[in-house]
Amino acid sequence: MELDIVKDINNKDRILILSDIDFIIDSLKLYFQNYDIVDLRNPSEALKLLREEHFDLMILDYIIDSVHIENIVPEIRSFNKNIYILLITEPKDLVSPLETIKKLDVQSYYERSESFDQLVLLVESALRSVHQLETIQEINEKLTKTNKLLEQSYLDSIEILKNTVEAKDIYTKGHSSRVAEYSKLIGEKLNLSSDEMHTLQVGSLFHDIGKIGISDSILLKDSPLTMDEYEKIKEHPIIGTHILSNANIFSDILPIVKYHHEYFDGSGYPDKLVGESIPLLARIVSVADAFDAMTSKRSYRDASTFEEAKEEIKRCAGSQFDPAIAKVFLNILNNDSEKIMQIHKDF
């Protein structure tokens, strides 16, 4: 079990020395009087203490009571991967010191000499490194906490805005959620990356956000729209883009919001983009959005059946829809119809 990083009551750096040579222990304790030092001769006792208490640094003799360090260090690393370990060796002990250090998973070594000056510098350097890593860990923990709060605020904003749109029109309740789920199925079949899937999910939830700016008299009309009213409806991608463009967190989904009504043949709106000049994620949402619109009841018409919607998607592949994406969705409708029906039921 990993130990929480907690200093001793005096906030001193803690050093554990594992050696059976009195001269080494006495010299180290003399040089490092300002630290909290614990010295042990028995490897088993050292392992037990390391499991129970926190130490910033461990100083090991290369050979202790005939127990080779290569047996001790892996045991330590099995439960404590972070403690800084410094080996004390005889010049002849390590044939290739750097390779041995890498193999043993220790941070540094000291070749024993008459002067301990180098060891003092190594210990001080080790403790500075430990302090820097602790600072980085604290910063990362704070950033993680902050990012989680931002992500939750982001998701809360999505839900609030989505509900605001759906509250304007009872007939579109659940529409954005269904479009998001249908889009997700298509994205999975296209092997989109995790980042693309996230953008697709959020963008499809927000694709109709611009309808906030459309008059209720048009949205709630119980008969077919006039030409002028339809032109007003066609403004919602631009309105939605304008609403979201003021917040950087929504920048990735703007192409979906703006272009989900573009047609593959260039006859859509607002910019009459053609073919693959329409962003991929917008082309996906276009198919999912149309399918849900066809299979949902409106105030002025009944819902189409799934078979009727499939035929319409086939008919419009290459004109309204990207034919490749239409093919993928038709395959889903044919082979995974239970998933489609469950989405339609759940939302």
Catalytic site residues?
A: 211
For 224, the token pair is: 């077919």
8 Å CB contact between 255 and 278: no
End-to-end CA, the chain:
44
- C-alpha 151/C-alpha 148 separation (Å) is 5
- C-alpha 272/C-alpha 285 separation (Å) is 16
Which residue from 68, 87, 155, 156 is spatially nearest to 126, judged by alpha carbons? 87
Q: Which residue pairs from 269-278 have beta carbons closer than 8 angstroms and sit at least 24 positions apart in sequence?
A: 269/234, 269/237, 270/234, 270/235, 270/237, 270/238, 275/322, 276/322, 278/322
- C-alpha 237/C-alpha 233 separation (Å) is 9
8 Å CB contact between 315 and 290: no
Interaxial angle between packed helices 117-168 and 22-31, expressed in degrees from 0 to 180 and rounded to the nearest 10: 60
- C-alpha 251/C-alpha 70 separation (Å) is 53
Q: For strand 57-61 and strand 36-40, is the pairing parallel, antiparallel, or unpaired?
A: unpaired
- Whether residue 91 has a cis bond before it, omega within 30° of 0: no
Our CA angle for 222, 225, 230, nearest 5°, is 140
